[in-house]
Amino acid sequence: MINTSRPRRSVLYMPGANTRALEKAKTLSADSLILDLEDAVAPDGKAKARENILAALNTGFGHREAIVRINGLNTQWGLEDLKVFANTSADAILLPKVESAAQIEEVASLLMKFNPANTMAIWAMIETPMAIFRLQEIASAHPLLETLVLGTSDLVKDLHARHTSNRVETQTALSLSVLAARAHQLCVLDGVHLSLDDAVGLEQSCIQGRDMGFDGKTLIHPNQIAIANQIFGPSPEEIEEAKERMNAYDAAISSGAGIAVLNGKLIEELHIQDAKRILALANAIEAFLKTN
């Protein structure tokens, strides 16, 4: 179920092996942080990275949501990762390369075993062709599942495709992921933009992801945060229009008119639901900014 009290416009990967990066994360304007034990950490650095993330969680990241990406349970590190972080202040566990409901169910069972009072959410990396084919199964796997995270770099590799500016190579996977998330009331996050010196490309990618229905974008560098926050957050114009829709609809209902019209356009219940979503997101962002 989507946690509407937490904006996830910008979700930044932070390598667990880099203590300076973990410390800097406490000052960044990212909504969420993925503290990474998997791809960003070499095999001989896994244990130390685990210690680094534990220490960082103990001091906290302020209002920023903290998600630990563990190693897969089919690796020599995954089970210990899960055991260690099940009793921490982390908000969620991110499981890499999810391809079946059974993987989600196993993580949920272990979380309850290691911490019976567990309220920690599960996030799932969607980054392989098999994951795309099994999205319905994965998205409905367990009540603790909260978010689907697109791993487009791995997906492009497995497809033997090439990264293009319009992302035609991943359009089908992106669309199906949004559909699966919405069908099961999950949050869904777009994949990373790999070019660090391409602000225009990042902006275009964010706009594309927002327009497709993604809740936010995963990022690989702090310099990408501002653009993601701007594009995935409602603009002042959108907020004002949402308020106007609500007022026009309420006035029409109160007067017994039955229908509402704003700027020559009919307002129906579906428009009110969207207006409520926009205003809830705007309020959540405002609350987060006050605690920053």
Torsional class of 3: left (φ above 0), alpha (ψ -120 to 50), beta (otherwise): beta
Please give the Cα distance from 120 to 135 (Å, whole number): 22
Whether the per-residue pLDDT at 93 is higher than 60: the answer is yes
Torsional class of 185: left (φ above 0), alpha (ψ -120 to 50), beta (otherwise): left
Q: Does the global pTM surpass 0.85?
A: yes
Q: pLDDT by residue (tens digit) across 106-118? A: 999 999 999 888 7
Predicted confidence at residue 242, as pLDDT, reads: 86
* Number of CB atoms found within 10 A of residue 72's CB: 16
Q: What does the pLDDT average to over 38-54?
A: 94
Query: What is the set of domains in the chain, with CATH numbers?
Result: 10-232 (3.20.20.60), 236-291 (no CATH)
Q: What does the pLDDT average to over 195-211?
A: 96
37 with 70: CB under 8 angstroms? yes
